Amino acid sequence: MKYISALLLVSSMWYPQQKPNANQTKEQTVDLIFPYNGSSVDWKTIEKQDDKLKQEFIAHHPANFNDSYNGYMHPGSEIRAEPVKLKNAIHIIDVNGNGKNDIVYEGSGGWETNKVFIFLNTAEGFKRIFYDWQYVAKLEFKDNKLWRLYTYNPGCCADYMVFNKIFEFDFINYPHFFKEIYSTSYYKHTQLSKSYLDKPIKFSVLEDSCKLRTEPQIGDRDSLILFGSNVHMGNDAGRIAKGAIGRAIATQADTRGNVWWLVEMDLHAKISGDVFYNEMSENDLSGKVGWINGKAAKVIE
């Protein structure tokens, strides 16, 4: 299954309740950098202990949680139920700051992929307000409410792309609770940096067909494994058109003294090649992540 691709620093259009990642007009608006080298969330440091609410949710979960429930409990089959794993995938957090505990779920989606859900605990029952693929990388709170949620999708099965997103929440505009403000993607074996710039450097590309590489070095004899038996020769995941805009988030010098930039390209940047694909549909505009030679870029304001 193909998922969405990369860098989205997006607009102020709020997603409708329960609608996952709808297409919208997107633009660069923030200087956030995804925690690429970060580990998964330590839920014990942020979740509340409320086993009674977990059991209530499991027993009376809404229909749009059925696949995830079945992924652990396997009703009607001979596969052993896994109630402990289901319980551990459910996290108790007061998401909207109203003093009432809600549900953040990170676990089986019922098929090959994991899902991330948020259910508000309402007088009418548990109401799903958010859903995305795979895992939670980070949560940020503001005024005792969930403010930003970082998710990452390392793909499933034969997928070879990694997708990262940041969502910003506003519980005032019911039922439009969140918007996607950032998204990046890259080939799964892309070398990431050990440290990042305090502030990204905005730039434009000076040469046509600038190679966006998976490593901070020239590797034209290397190969990238794609779907099935397909192979892309060279460590260039794409070729960037002259004038394309992006931002550098890290730098690294090679043994010859060349300075490479780890970049996130603007979602409107023209990049050719057969490596990148979108996460959900062709309408999900996004940018790409990789390394370019710093000599091929001009810093802009």
Is the pTM here over 0.85, yes or no?
A: yes
Residue 79 Cα to chain centre, angstroms:
32
CA 271, 274, 276, 278 torsion: positive or negative?
A: positive
Query: Would you state the torsion angle of the CA atoms of residues 37, 39, 40, 42, taken in this order, to the nearest 10 degrees?
Result: -140
Tokens standing for 186?
């890259």
User: So where are the chain's domains?
Assistant: 43-187, 201-299
Per-residue pLDDT of the chain (301 residues; tens, 9 = 90+): 433 333 333 333 333 334 444 333 444 456 788 999 877 789 999 999 999 999 999 999 999 999 999 999 988 887 889 999 999 999 999 999 999 999 999 999 987 789 999 999 999 999 999 999 999 999 999 999 999 999 999 988 889 999 999 999 999 877 789 999 998 999 999 999 999 999 999 999 999 999 999 999 999 989 998 987 789 999 999 999 999 999 999 999 998 899 999 999 998 899 999 899 888 767 666 789 999 999 999 999 7
Side-chain half-sphere exposure of 187, counting CA atoms within 13 A: 25
Contacts of 104 (CB under 8 A, 6+ apart): 47, 90, 91, 92, 93, 95, 116, 117, 118, 136, 139
Contact in structure between 173 and 14 (CB atoms under 8 Å): yes
